[in-house]
Structure 1
Amino acid sequence: MKPIIELSKVNFKYQEDDERQALTDVSLNVYEGEWLAVIGHNGSGKSTLAKTINGLIVPSSGDVVVEGLPMNEENVWNIRKKIGMVFQNPDNQFVGSTVEDDVAFGLENHGIPREDMLRIVKESLEKVRMTDFAKKEPVRLSGGQKQRVAIAGVVALSPDVIILDEATSMLDPEGRMEVIKTIQEIRDEKNITVISITHDIDEAANATRVLVMREGRVFKDGLPEEIFSAGQDLIEMGLDLPFPEKLKMEMRAQGMDVPADYMSEERMVEWLWTSALNK
């Protein structure tokens, strides 16, 4: 399968006199329709990587290619039309006085005819289950609702890629699950590629692939079961483990016989239920 995003030996420093690079020799392919979760401790280069992909920063060396277009001054605006970003604080993204005005803002800037714009706004709010809040002020919404509106604004522009840059980090568990579920549904429906920059290991466990960043380099890259089954390596890096893996470790410490392979939350529930029935 041909990659939708290609990074080759990308390097970046925020200041020329910085001793440490923010990104060092990062090579990475992202494929159409996948959900790539990027994890790592603070300062590992996660958000810098996201900004590099979207053209918000220019690498000091190396190449970034999005859908066959090299990242340069000539192509950067066309590339940004293909990539939508949802940031950590949705309040920083709101520009409209009402929810529907905010979702319409990007469409207006793209010169979409009013009749088409009204239809797209309605469809986008339906996708994130926020139709009933169309006339509300964004500032009066909950954290999870605000992020769903921010997602609607991005989805309205029909990007091929959505980057979530710590988009769930300020939410409570319920709001976090709302946002993850919304993104999963949109990805399944429209085959959108998702890149999730996150500290939330349980969010990363929902991805189809996980990238671990360490000191500006790609440390590990693989399926969730490959990454999270090496639990001790992640713990030594100061990272957490998905809840099922932590539960397995605790059960094993209590002398219980648990499966050695990686288990998602759904599989853990199924195994616990089956084990209880067999006793």
Structure 2
Amino acid sequence: MEDIIELVDIQFSYDPEAERNALDGVSFSIKKGEWVAIVGHNGSGKSTLAKTINGLLLPQQGSVKVGGNLLNEENVWDIRRMVGMVFQNPDNQFVGSTVEDDVAFGMENQGVPREEMLVRVQDALEQVRMSDFKQREPARLSGGQKQRVAIAGVVALRPDIIILDEATSMLDPEGREEVISTIKKIKDQNNLTVLSITHDIDEAANANRILVMQEGKLVREGTPAEIFSAGEKLIELGLDLPFPEKLKAALKERGVVVPTEYLTEEGMVNWLWTSILNK
């Protein structure tokens, strides 16, 4: 499968006088159809990386390729059409008086014919399960519903890549689960590439691969199982432990022999059921 995103030795600094760069020699590639999570504490360079990929920032050194195209000032708008971004606060993205107006807004800017626009709006709202709310004012929706509408607005533009920039950080657990399940479904239906910028370890667990950023550098890369098996070393990187790892640590303190490998929440439930509760 071909690479849809490729970064080579990216350097970027907001301030030439700063002690370190916001991005310092970052290189990685992402395959088409992959879900990759980028995690790290505040100031690690996660959001700067996202803005570099969709051309909001141009690197001062190194190269960015999206869909095989080398990012530069001449083709930045073409690349932005390939990359849809969903931000932290959906209220900052709303411009329409109704849900369907808002979903249509980006297509109006791209000159999509009205007949096609109506079909895309309906299709996008169906994909995020918000068709029944198309005449509602966005301000009257719940947090999770607002974020699903923001996702519909991006999906309607038919991008190849969706970047979630801390898109679930302002939501309660129910809203977070709602949005993540929506993204999973849309990714599979449309063979999208998803890049999730997050500090939420449980959200990152949904990815195929995790990249760990620290002080502008890519310091670790692997599957969720490989990354989370680092256990308390994650705390040294400014990250929290996933719930199953916290539970394993608590059980271990009480003298319970626990698996050494990483377990998902479902895997943890199965292990508890078969190894402890059935005894």
1:258-277 equivalences under 5 Å are: 258-276=258-276
Deviation at 1:266, TM superposition (A): 1.3
Q: Which residue of 2 aligns with 1:58?
A: 58
**Equivalent residue, structure 2, for 1:78:** 78
Cα deviation for residue 275 of structure 1 reads 2.3
Q: How far apart, CA to CA, are the structure 2 residues paired with 1:181 and 1:77?
A: 30
Structure 2 distance, partners of 1:269, 1:188, is 26
- Aligned partners of 1:62, 1:236: CA distance in 2, in Å? 29
Aligned to 1:251: 251
Matches within 5 A, 1:139-178: 139-178=139-178
Give the C-alpha shift of residue 111 in structure 1.
Answer: 1.6
1:8-66 C-alpha deviation (Å, 9 max, x unpaired): 00000002222210000000101111110110011000000000001001111000010
For residue 39 of structure 1, what is the aligned residue in structure 2? Answer: 39
Partner of 1:213: 213
Letter in 2 for 1:249: A
Could you state the TM-score of these two structures normalised by the residue count of structure 1? 0.98
Instruction: Look up the match of 1:228.
Output: 228
Specify the code of the residue in structure 1 equivalent to 2:229: S
Q: Give the secondary structure class of the aligned counterpart of 1:231.
A: coil
Please tell me the residue identity of whatever aligns with 1:24: D
The 5-angstrom pairing of residues 177-192 of structure 1 reads: 177-192=177-192
Question: 10-19 or 51-60: which moved more?
Answer: 10-19
**Structure 2: tracts of 5 or more residues without a match:** none
Tell me the residue number matched to 2:28: 28
Q: Distance in 2 between matches of 1:207 and 1:38?
A: 9
Q: Give the aligned length.
A: 279
How big is each residue's C-alpha offset from its partner over 1:64-117, in whole Å with a ceiling of 9 and x where there is no partner? Answer: 010111100111111001000000011111110000000011111122221211
Task: Give the fraction of aligned pairs with identical amino acids, expressed as a percent.
Answer: 68
Give, as a single letter, the amino acid of the residue that structure 2 aligns with 1:108: E
The equivalent of 1:96 in structure 2 is 96
1:199 counterpart letter in structure 2: H
- Aligned residue number for residue 107 of structure 1: 107
How far apart in 2 are the matches of 1:205 and 1:247?
A: 16
1:253-272 superposed Cα distances (whole Å, 9 cap, x missing partner): 11111111111111111212
Superposed displacement of residue 276, structure 1: 4.4
| 3-state DSSP of counterpart to 1:207 | coil
Q: Distance in 2 between matches of 1:15 and 1:277?
A: 57
Is 1:17 aligned to residue 17 of structure 2? yes
> Contact conserved, 2:213 with 2:220, CA < 8 A, in 1?
yes
* Structure 2 length-normalised TM: 0.98
SS in 1 for 2:232: helix
Q: Would you say the 8 A contact 2:232–2:241 is kept in 1?
A: no
